[in-house]
Structure 1
Amino acid sequence: MRTIVITGGTDGLGKGLALHHLRRGDRVVAVGSTPAKGRALLAAAAHGGAADRAAFLQADLTSVAATRELTAALLDSHPRIDALVLCANRYRILGPRHLTPEGFEHSFALAYLSRFVLSHGLRTALEAAPRPVVLNVGTPGVPLGRIHWDDLQLARRYSGTAATLQSFRANDLLGVAFAARHPHSRVRYIAYNPGVVATGMPDHLPQPLRALTKAAFRVIAAPVAKAVPPMSGLLTDPPAEPFTAFDRTRRLPLSGTAFDRDAALRLDDITRGLLDAPAGKGR
């Protein structure tokens, strides 16, 4: 029986993928921040006869300390993990810059640092599986946003859009650096763009942007049921290469600045320094 860990696994695309793999007979550990959504997922699993294969772990992934605690708990309870799916995100497009208690900009902490900590922290459990894979869900292939090398926390020129797009670009480089840092690992790391999917993402936006986004979703967004199978296919049969990137079913060339190895290793070094620094220092 395969074990699949999904962050953001109680809502939207993550929940759809969790229920899909429970129906296939896998064991699923869904990570989320809201207990009510966790209970709803477990109820759905029980309704489908998979109560004994579904688990919910509550975690605040904006916190590095909490993410490290989650990593330790997963290693203790699941010494073998077949797949890690990184979906957790919450868009803060409008509004002022928000720092976590540890001093990190919110999008950088949730959408990038948590994925860095979990990817590297769970590597030993992943390598205990026969065909381990990490699926990092973002926007590879979309030429928007950049890494603000001199101001990663966007203290001097913050915008929610810039922060969101930087987190996506950082995750492209995360996959490149993971493969470079662990050249002999059996873990296959995939950067994955699911396209526009009809999820609850607009619920976190302020009005009138929420209403406008929901209206656009009704026109252009794919249903979760349609978006899940290509993701599941990659989890079941990952590519042979250490790192790949996909836009739905289309494999992307690993060229240009998006997947630059030197930039990836530079960000990796900076990230390790930030994570090792005392809270609030060197940010």
Structure 2
Amino acid sequence: MRTVVITGGTDGLGKGLALHYLREGARVIAVGSTPAKGEAFLAEAADSNRATFLRADLTSVRAAMDLIATLEDICPTVDKLILCAQRYRLFGPRTTTHEGFEHSFALAYLSRHILSHGLRKLLEPAPWPVVMNVGTPGVPLGRIHWDDPQLARRYSGTKATLQSFRANDLLGVAFAALYPDTPIRYIGYNPGVVSTGMPAHLPRPIRPVAKASFAVFATSVTKAVVPMTDLLDDPPGDPFTAYRAKRRLALSGPAFDQDAALRLHHLTRDLLDAAAPGPS
């Protein structure tokens, strides 16, 4: 039986993927931060033998590491790791986690770095292991702020969000470069605009406009899942690929620069080493 782990798996696109793989007969572990959403997912799944909810606040380095330890205890292997957990903070003041990381950097990038590398030993024994990092490859906005990755000096929510997206492009490039012999296929994936609950997290003045726009332009979760599962079930042969919906992207330009990817990897490791969470 295949094992599929999905962060952000109790809501939106992550939940759509979780329910799809349950229908396909897989064991699905949905990771989320809200118990009520986890309970709702399990009720909808209606299969307690193959559906599992694990609560984890992935803004926390310790929580991400604890999640890896839990998965190592309950899973002999992981076939697919799908990274969807995200909460946009485009407006408002800068906030940090209790470990001192800027919120978007922690949730949208750092947790994905930790899980991608930390679950490699569970993924590699699987017959066709895949990591899908759901973000925005192909969107030429944002950059890495090398001198201030936590944006402590000139913060904006939009700047932080876009930096996390660009960091995830480089994460996939670095993963393939660091493990040239791994059987894991790493896919950076941009689903486009999907009809999820994202507008509900926006400030009240623009929330109705965003909801109206989503109603007109967004693809349904049901439709958005189809090209994703096609890739997950029949991944490309290359170690790292990037897609915008069904279109494969050229791995050229600064978004996929290997030197920058390895630079970010080492910077991230230094940040994690400096945080050095003790035993839980």
Calculate the TM-score normalised by the size of structure 1.
Answer: 0.97
The residue identity in structure 2 corresponding to 1:130 is P
1:235 Cα offset (Å): 1.1
The residue identity in structure 2 corresponding to 1:13 is L
Deviations 1:74-132 (A, max 9, x none): 11111200000000000011100001010000000000000000000000000010100
Match of 2:153 in 1: 156
Q: How does 1:221-232 map to 2 (within 5 A)?
A: 221-232=218-229
1:231 Cα offset (Å): 0.7
The residue identity in structure 1 corresponding to 2:269 is R
Q: Write the distance in 2 (CA, Å) between the matches of 1:238 and 1:278.
A: 35
The residue identity in structure 1 corresponding to 2:124 is E
Residue from 66, 69, 72 that aligns with 2:66? 69
1:90 paired to 2:91: no
Residue from 210, 230, 233 that aligns with 2:230? 233
The residue identity in structure 2 corresponding to 1:97 is R
Match of 1:185 in 2: 182
Q: Write the distance in 2 (CA, Å) between the matches of 1:229 and 1:4.
A: 16
In structure 2, the residue corresponding to 1:150 is in which secondary structure? Answer: coil
1:32 paired to 2:32: yes
Q: Write the distance in 2 (CA, Å) between the matches of 1:210 and 1:237.
A: 38
Q: Write the distance in 2 (CA, Å) between the matches of 1:278 and 1:183.
A: 28
1:279 Cα offset (Å): 6.1
The residue identity in structure 2 corresponding to 1:32 is G
The residue identity in structure 2 corresponding to 1:226 is K
1:208 Cα offset (Å): 1.3
Q: Write the distance in 2 (CA, Å) between the matches of 1:239 and 1:189.
A: 9
The residue identity in structure 1 corresponding to 2:86 is N
1:209 paired to 2:206: yes
Match of 2:130 in 1: 133
The residue identity in structure 2 corresponding to 1:95 is G
Q: 1:103 touches 1:279 (CA, 8 Å); kept in 2?
A: no
Q: Write the distance in 2 (CA, Å) between the matches of 1:154 and 1:276.
A: 19
Match of 1:57 in 2: 54
Q: Write the distance in 1 (CA, Å) between the matches of 2:74 and 2:113.
A: 20
Match of 1:4 in 2: 4
The residue identity in structure 1 corresponding to 2:255 is A
Match of 2:197 in 1: 200
Q: Write the distance in 1 (CA, Å) between the matches of 2:63 and 2:48.
A: 26
Q: Write the distance in 2 (CA, Å) between the matches of 1:234 and 1:136.
A: 12
Unpaired stretches in structure 1, ≥5 consecutive residues: none
Please tell me the root mean square deviation across aligned C-alpha atoms, in Å.
0.9
1:278 Cα offset (Å): 3.2
User: Matched residue pairs, number?
Assistant: 277
Q: Write the distance in 2 (CA, Å) between the matches of 1:124 and 1:154.
A: 33
Match of 2:166 in 1: 169
Unpaired stretches in structure 2, ≥5 consecutive residues: none
Q: Write the distance in 2 (CA, Å) between the matches of 1:76 and 1:178.
A: 24
Q: Write the distance in 1 (CA, Å) between the matches of 2:250 and 2:119.
A: 27
Q: 1:12 touches 1:200 (CA, 8 Å); kept in 2?
A: yes
In structure 1, the residue corresponding to 2:275 is in which secondary structure? Answer: coil
Q: Write the distance in 2 (CA, Å) between the matches of 1:152 and 1:201.
A: 25
Match of 1:99 in 2: 96
Calculate the TM-score normalised by the size of structure 2.
Answer: 0.98
